[in-house]
Amino acid sequence: MKENSNIILTFLSEGISRIKLNDPSNYNALSSKNINSLINIFRSLSNDNKTKVIIIEGSGKGFSAGHDLKEVRSLKNKPKYKKLFNSCSKLMLEIMEGRKPVIAKVHGAAFAAGCQLVASCDLAISSDDAIFATPGVNIGLFCSTPMVAVSRKVSRKKTMKMLLTGDPINANYAKEIGLINDYYPKEHLEDEVLKLAKKIASKSNLTIKIGKKAFYRQLEMPLRKAYKYTSEVMTKNAMELDAEEGISAFLEKRKPIWKNK
């Protein structure tokens, strides 16, 4: 994996890995270089047995302003545009289809593809002064790929209002419409995100992997097919050692000792 100083990867205790977008002078823009680095990092962490939870955050004044508009303006031909937007979509799929839960830790602005990144994460916690927007309409470039992620977390009319007006929304409204899970004063954000990450990391890694995969797959299925599929998933899950251990620990009133198998 090539080094990219705009992306910092650190490993914390208890199976928590942290990705930091580190291009504050460019508001942590999702340039082609940064997108490709993130794809490689998420893919690597998905296969890393020591990583149980991933946190992604931004440095400087905010989370991410989305695509690097200077780069977008310089492309000027269809194959280059297509390559950029396909790569960004690939990143979002890597997050959703990866084996590990991903928490977006958001402060400041999360705009356009930055808002898409927040919506693509499994969970999102923000500071109380965070703002979110899909403002492409303001520059003549509709946020078509961001709306894929946002419209799968937020109802249609609320998503359309964000897309058609380009207006930012605050953390309180973002929580109300389901774009984020919660928000806290900036000075408490780190502690709250770590508390959540540690709680998830304390569960069976195998069980979380099974559940995350099933969650996103069943969302796109008709009701009867979803029940048939998830019944099969639960049957397979019930046969795993961690399910046997978890049930035994509950009945015996003790903490489970996960084997992740």
Q: What is the pLDDT of residues 192-223, one digit of tens each?
A: 999 999 999 999 999 999 999 999 999 999 99
Taking the C-alpha atoms of residue 84 and residue 11, their distance in angstroms, rounded to an integer, is: 29
Q: What band does 1 get if pLDDT is binned at 50, 70 and 90?
A: very low
Sheet holding 16-21, edge to edge: 7-11, 16-21, 53-58, 102-106, 123-127, 182-184
What DSSP element (H or E) covers 188?
helix 186-201
Q: What band does 53 get if pLDDT is binned at 50, 70 and 90?
A: very high
Q: State which CATH number among 3.40.50.720, 3.40.1360.10, 3.90.226.10, 2.40.30.10 fits the domain covering 7-201.
A: 3.90.226.10
Q: Where are the domains of the chain?
A: 7-201, 205-251
Whether residue 4 has pLDDT greater than 60: yes
Looking at residue 260, what is its pLDDT?
A: 83
**Secondary structure of 53-83 as H, E, C letters:** EEEEEECCCCCECCCCHHHHHHHCCHHHHHH
- Cα 131 to Cα 64, 108, 245: the distances in Å are 11, 6, 43
List the beta bridge partners of residue 54.
17, 102
Q: How many CB atoms lie within 10 A of CB 37?
A: 22
Percent of the chain predicted with pLDDT > 90? 94
- 76-80, 129-133, 222-226 — which is least confidently predicted? 76-80
139-156 CB burial, b ≥16 within 10 A, e <16: eeeebebbbebbbebbee
Sheet holding 109-111, edge to edge: 109-111, 131-133, 169-170
- Cα 104 to Cα 1, 214, 218, 261: the distances in Å are 23, 21, 23, 28
Highest CATH level, class, for 205-251: mainly alpha
Looking at residue 2, what is its pLDDT?
A: 54
Q: Which whole number is the average pLDDT over 20-41?
A: 96
Half-sphere exposure of 101 (CA within 13 A, CB side): 27
Q: Which whole number is the average pLDDT over 244-252?
A: 95
Dump pLDDT digits (tens) for 146-163: 999 999 999 999 999 999
pTM (predicted TM-score): 0.94
Q: Which whole number is the average pLDDT over 234-254?
A: 95
Q: Which whole number is the average pLDDT over 63-80?
A: 92
Pairing state between β 16-21 and 7-11 = antiparallel
Mean pLDDT of the chain: 95
Looking at residue 234, what is its pLDDT?
A: 95
Taking the C-alpha atoms of residue 44 and residue 225, their distance in angstroms, rounded to an integer, is: 32
